[in-house]
Amino acid sequence: MTKGRIVGIKRFEIHDGDGIRTTLFLKGCPLKCKWCHNPEAISSKSQVAYLKEKCIGCGECVSVCSAHAHSFFDGKHVYDRNRCVHCGKCVDVCLGDALTLYGREISPKEALKLLTEDGIFYNSSGGGVTLSGGEPLQQADFCMELLKLLKTEGIHTAIDTCGFAGKSDIDKIIDDTDVFLYDIKFYDNKKHIQYTGRTNKPIIENLKYIDIKGKPVEVRIPLVSTINDDQMEPIGRFLATLKHIRKVKLLPYYNFSSSKYAALEMENMLPAVETPDDRQITDAVGILKSFGLNAISGKE
């Protein structure tokens, strides 16, 4: 069985597909979107986040870490991530809740056990399980095995994907995926490369492929002021050529600072742009609707 590396699990989620859902977040993403609010999901490797503001200096981490990644210098706690082998022992004993391990490994059966705990809510609300990330298709074999188990239990399944994947990976999961939640950020490829680091060609081609296969798709568009608000027309024109787009949801980008970048010692590239106001959102929804799409604001 293929093990998956996960960032975490979120229960009682109502924004990741139909009904009440449990979302499993997988680690690793091929894109580097400059507005990403989930830096812990970008690297495919395990990471420990250390929030120094929360450290109460208890020293518990020093005593359990055989890699000597924790120490005290001048009375202050120091974490050396180069020594860390991500065993998670310090996270389990940290009294200040200053440490978080992102990237625990889990088997499909272990994941199924966690996900079926909420089964009663799926049945009563028409919900189910969503695999998200990061990019879940970076771990396509794990997703394939888990989705098969979920379908055997009769659970509705959704994949929340950026679409940057090989066709062979899509083929692994498509039969056991009930709905795709599919991100489109730009139709313009140059802008896509500029703001995500990757071409959007496979993203566009994979969406056409999923559409030909007849799978329902909910498209999600992050609306980032001054960065992709000129993309609604070309995106709308493209989506109007497809047959199985059941909804297009605009997700306004909120410019709040994330402490996760500092906790992971990652460079924060969040753009200093305004949050789209109601007028901008309404205008963008209107453009998408003018192409006959069932467009809505993610704020609704």
Residues that bind ligand SF4 (CB under 6 A): 48, 55-61, 64-65, 67, 69-70, 77, 84-90, 94-96, 98-99
The torsion angles phi and psi of 126, rounded to 5 degrees, stand at 75, 25
Q: From the CB of 76, what's the least distance to ligand SF4, in Å?
A: 10
Q: What is the DSSP annotation of 133-168?
A: SS-GGGGHHHHHHHHHHHHHTT-EEEEEE---S-HH
Which CB atom, from 104 or from 244, has the smaller least distance to ligand SF4? 104
Which CB atom, from 14 or from 95, has the smaller least distance to ligand SF4? 95
Q: From the CB of 142, what's the least distance to ligand SF4, in Å?
A: 22
> Which amino acid makes up residue 99?
L
Pairing of strands 156-161, 128-132: parallel
Q: From the CB of 107, what's the least distance to ligand SF4, in Å?
A: 20
- What value, to the nearest 5°, has the Cα angle with vertex 127 and ends 132 and 146? 45
Q: Over the range 32-54, which residues count as b (16 or more CB within 10 Å of their CB) and which as e?
A: ebebbbbbbbbbbebbbbbbeee
CA distance 180 to 17: 9
Helix segments in the chain, DSSP class H: 60-64, 89-93, 108-116, 119-125, 140-152, 167-173, 189-196, 201-212, 232-239, 260-263, 278-289
Cis peptide bond upstream of 292, omega within 30: no
Q: From the CB of 83, what's the least distance to ligand SF4, in Å?
A: 7
Which CB atom, from 79 or from 187, has the smaller least distance to ligand SF4? 79
Which CB atom, from 85 or from 193, has the smaller least distance to ligand SF4? 85
Q: From the CB of 41, what's the least distance to ligand SF4, in Å?
A: 18
Which CB atom, from 65 or from 248, has the smaller least distance to ligand SF4? 65
Which CB atom, from 62 or from 204, has the smaller least distance to ligand SF4? 62
Q: From the CB of 89, what's the least distance to ligand SF4, in Å?
A: 4
The residues near 130 (Cβ < 8 Å, ≥ 6 apart) are 13, 16, 17, 21, 22, 23, 24, 157, 158, 159, 160, 181
Q: From the CB of 90, what's the least distance to ligand SF4, in Å?
A: 3
Which CB atom, from 48 or from 146, has the smaller least distance to ligand SF4? 48
